[in-house]
Structure 1
Amino acid sequence: MKQEVILVLDCGATNVRAIAVDRQGKIVSRASTANASEIATENNTWHQWSLEDILQRFTDCCQTLSDELSSYLIRGITVTTFGVDGALVDEHGALLYPIISWKCPRTAAVMNNIGHMMTPQRLQAISGVGAFSFNTLYKLVWLKENYPHLAEQAHAWLFISSLINHRLTGEFTTDITMAGTSQILDIHQRDFSPEILQALGLPRRLFPRLVEAGEQIGTLQSDIASRLGLPAGIPVISAGHDTQFALFGAGAQENEPVLSSGTWEILMVRSAQVNTPLLSQYPGSTCELDSQPGLTNPGMQWLASGVLEWVRKLLWTAETPWQTLIDEACTVPAGAEGVKMQSDLLTNQNAGWQGVTLTTTRGHFYRAALEALAGQLKLNLQTLEKIGQFNATELLLVGGGSRNALWNQIKADRLGIPIKVLDDAETTVAGAAMFAWFGVGEFTSPKQARAQVRYQYRYFYPQTEPEITEEV
């Protein structure tokens, strides 16, 4: 009998991947190829995505795995990707205009002028989502202002995961977790906001039926099945925005904050309570829908490893191993002997170091940067506790930044609570697969699917307590 798997099609900004996951959440097969946006023909500073290129990359991945996948029984397929991006399509699902990338600057002016339609405070109170220029809302306003006939002619707006799902199944749907990133959804009602749509002059008909994570969208159609080298008829199960499935896949419980540490640090929590009117008081705050009904994901985000990358290039080289920086910083005592750094390089013109003397070394600068970022984390966690109405007793840490043991210890010392590190980098894929296993009827709930997974965490305790490895 063939081993049963879920096939996760993961479209990231850097890589497109096809990954087979078994019932216990283990990856049994994977293939990856580079992904990249392209320059728009209208303006060489604009960025867009090619749906055909993304589909071809999935095709390449599946063909690479063809021999391996033929030995498995694929019970279901699910798609996960980055949020906010999408396109207007006709009744056949053909794009009426290219997919504007979240990296594209063209919508910044729309965000800055949105106040004549609705105040940013009101927008965030309804949608939860913060004022980020890449939000779906600003893309749709830009399209309406620059190509008004397209919005009138369009059959639907499809987020990028739903564009892929339409190609797989022929069905027009909206993954609810993607809608939760748009700044158009009423996060409390779990539907598109009539107030926001009216203010923007957009009809509700543009947004197809909402599907919950784990809900079956349709089945794999024969034409795309042939292209991917897969059997037709495989159930296609809704997933959506990668962040929500990373939280679930990491094992995060309700009111357990999770820090995804990378170029940006994204601090979120799975909360049953959120004070959305409070959000607009805190720059960088946002709130999205959780993968499960009844919960939301309030969060904060800020530049983190991007700061450390800048320090490395400035004082070492871009190719210097990170361990070299860490080793030099380890020779510097806590507090960096008075050297301090203001790490908010994006918004603070006074960002940089203070307390520098003739005895200051590169290690001091790097340690000061680590400590400053840990201080920023503390402030943001305190803010998140107010917004989500919870008290943190530990912090679950995932992502590339979690491999820096010195930084982990500094975070634990600064926060005064244990740091719980999950080394598994595939939390998004695991989480999406858990919902898909539920969707094909293998488990009674995504939680039951997650209960099959054995998580291994490393703990960093405040001050001098030793690091401990535990399995749960």
Structure 2
Amino acid sequence: MHSPAPAPGDPHFTSAVATPLVAGIDVATAAVRVVCLDARGTVYAEGRAALPQPVRDGGGSSEQDATRWWPAAAEALRQATAALPARGAEVTAVAVSATSGTLVLADGDGRPLGPALMYDDRRAADLNAEAQRRGSSRWQALGLTVGPTAALGRAAWYARHAADHPGAARLVHTPDLLGRHLTGEPVATDWSHALKTGYDPRAGEWPGEVLDALGLPAHWLPPVQPPGTSVGTVCAEAAAETGLPVGCDVRLGMTDGCAGQLATGAVAPGQFVGILGTTYVLKGVTRDLVTDPAGALYSHRHPDGWWLPGGASNTGGEALAHRAVERLLALDESAAARGPASCVSYPLRREGERFPFVAGAARGFTLGTPADDADRHRADLEGVAFLERLALERVAALGVPVDAPLYAAGGGSRSPLWTRIRATVLGVPLRVADRAETAFGAALLAASGTLHPSLEQAAAAMTGEGRLIEPVPEEKAALDDSYARFTEELASRGWV
């Protein structure tokens, strides 16, 4: 676990030479979070500031006041920098991560000309369908599908409504706007935040044929650089607002999901992380681009030029959301005592599945009758673990090597029982990450090339060893039998 920062009076504290730190900024939907770390991953300070909730009209529109991003980021940075030991530590580099696909139309100086269109805004679904058709060969080579909420369609929507925005000159992702405030001038965007806006990281270009077909001005789009690239330094105005030192290096971040993956330590080829939150997400690192004909898996590009394949299921912790937290703890205890479930569950609480298989007709099911609530609870935990095993088998079938242990993160990974079940079902140890947070991942990108020569070295030094959870040998045979019933049922229903 990460130790607290040394303070005056501590033998490790020194005021003679400032300890170099990095800061990671996470611009989430409802708040901005900041964390300051040293080269060992020790947390020195944190900050948080609220953002206004997006305005959603029920018809697919989702907007947020983009002029609030910088004041919130500056406030969170002030909180963090004010908490640093006086003359004992100094932030030397900073990076920003944000939600994927959020963008706003801005003037030539990068000032927003209206509300930002959020990652889940669906107003441009028809334009995204057109983008998919016009660039089908490009997207196929990239292993990507332009979905209804892709930012590319929203960018084209802005172009269709340019008359409503006099002075429109550029499209700005959230980190681009903050980068402009930090450095005092426009900055490049990173190829992670640019992906859903249509950037092709395989070819290293914006899709000109698609932009032309959609009537989207190419000059609206920013230059693109790898995550971790230095794009300037903190200017005097930003230093006064944030407490960061003038000259602090500003480096490009990645989207929230990618930064969260980096924070687990899964940054090198063969390393994968299973993130068990509301839904289950599998992310990893490969040397080469892997495309999935079914479209269940797609890839961001790694800062070092490798690839980050990932997929998100429609089931996960959501399967337990109808149970109170206190009840979950009691059920975990009872389920641990009883051993493997007597029935088999696929705890899908919504319609359709998207990973590790794509089936709009998929529905949850239970094979057999649970003996009691603890038995049903145990079956649900096992069902999500079965889905995780199927996901890893899907990845293996695509020719992707997965090294052990599997990294683990997300709220579900805090359950010792669930983590043991997952390890046993998979037959490999799980390494539960200490602090798999977006701001932490952004800080790792800031540390790459500053506190450490590379991202891989930064992750090795800063993410910690985590907790290693081993399989339970005496439960393996029973869980293998249940997994076989699980996959046979999926096949019988035509979903796999």
For normalisation by structure 2, the TM-score amounts to 0.81
Q: Which residue matches 1:154? A: 168
Q: Which residue matches 1:104? A: 121
2:155 to 140, 159, 167: 140
Question: Which amino acid counterpart does residue 84 of structure 1 have in structure 2?
Answer: G
Distance 1:123 1:199 in 2: 14
* Percent identity for Structure 1 against Structure 2: 22
Are the aligned partners of 2:319 and 2:347 in contact in 1 as well (CA < 8 Å)?
no
1:58 aligns with 2:70: no
1:456 aligns with 2:465: yes
Q: Which residue matches 1:436? A: 446
2:281 to 236, 241, 266: 266
Are the aligned partners of 2:127 and 2:214 in contact in 1 as well (CA < 8 Å)?
no
Map 1:11-410; keep pairs closer than 5 Å: 11-39=27-55, 46-69=61-84, 71=86, 72-111=89-128, 114=131, 116-119=133-136, 122=137, 124-145=139-160, 147-149=161-163, 154-182=168-196, 184-252=198-266, 253-276=268-291, 279-283=292-296, 285-293=297-305, 295-310=306-321, 313=322, 316-317=323-324, 319-320=325-326, 322-334=328-340, 336-343=341-348, 345-347=350-352, 351-357=363-369, 360-387=371-398, 389-410=400-421
Q: Secondary structure at the match of 2:380?
A: helix
Q: Secondary structure at the match of 1:375?
A: helix
Are the aligned partners of 1:8 and 1:433 in contact in 2 as well (CA < 8 Å)?
yes
Distance 2:18 2:402 in 1: 46
**Cα distance, 1:78 vs structure 2:** 1.7
Unpaired runs of 5+ in structure 1? 467-472
Aligned residues: 449
**Cα distance, 1:344 vs structure 2:** 6.3
Provide, for residues 58-78 of structure 1, a one-character-per-residue CA deviation record: whole Å limited to 9, x for no partner. Answer: 233233345323723221222
Are the aligned partners of 2:35 and 2:440 in contact in 1 as well (CA < 8 Å)?
no
For normalisation by structure 1, the TM-score amounts to 0.85
Provide, for residues 340-390 of structure 1, a one-character-per-residue CA deviation record: whole Å limited to 9, x for no partner. Answer: 335262316562343454x63222222222222112112222222344632
Are the aligned partners of 1:130 and 1:280 in contact in 2 as well (CA < 8 Å)?
no
Q: After alignment, is 237-246 or 15-24 more displaced?
A: 237-246
Question: Which amino acid counterpart does residue 215 of structure 2 have in structure 1?
Answer: G
**Cα distance, 1:29 vs structure 2:** 0.6
**Cα distance, 1:109 vs structure 2:** 4.7
Distance 1:218 1:115 in 2: 35
**Cα distance, 1:250 vs structure 2:** 2.3
Distance 1:202 1:191 in 2: 15
Are the aligned partners of 2:269 and 2:286 in contact in 1 as well (CA < 8 Å)?
yes
CA 1:96–1:209 in 2, change beyond 3 Å: closer, same or farther?
A: same
CA 1:229–1:324 in 2, change beyond 3 Å: closer, same or farther?
A: same
Provide, for residues 86-138 of structure 1, a one-character-per-residue CA deviation record: whole Å limited to 9, x for no partner. Answer: 1121101112332111233434454456555444xx45324443444322112
Are the aligned partners of 2:211 and 2:217 in contact in 1 as well (CA < 8 Å)?
yes
CA 1:176–1:231 in 2, change beyond 3 Å: closer, same or farther?
A: closer
Distance 2:255 2:54 in 1: 22
CA 1:33–1:322 in 2, change beyond 3 Å: closer, same or farther?
A: farther
Distance 1:30 1:244 in 2: 21
Q: Which residue matches 1:447? A: 456
Distance 1:339 1:390 in 2: 29
Q: After alignment, is 134-143 or 16-25 more displaced?
A: 134-143
Distance 1:350 1:186 in 2: 32
CA 1:171–1:280 in 2, change beyond 3 Å: closer, same or farther?
A: farther
Are the aligned partners of 1:6 and 1:437 in contact in 2 as well (CA < 8 Å)?
yes
Q: Which residue matches 2:480? A: none
Distance 1:116 1:402 in 2: 40
Q: Secondary structure at the match of 2:83?
A: helix
Q: Which residue matches 2:482? A: none
Distance 2:147 2:62 in 1: 16
Unpaired runs of 5+ in structure 2? 1-16, 353-359, 476-496
Q: Secondary structure at the match of 1:165?
A: helix
RMSD: 2.9
**Cα distance, 1:261 vs structure 2:** 1.9
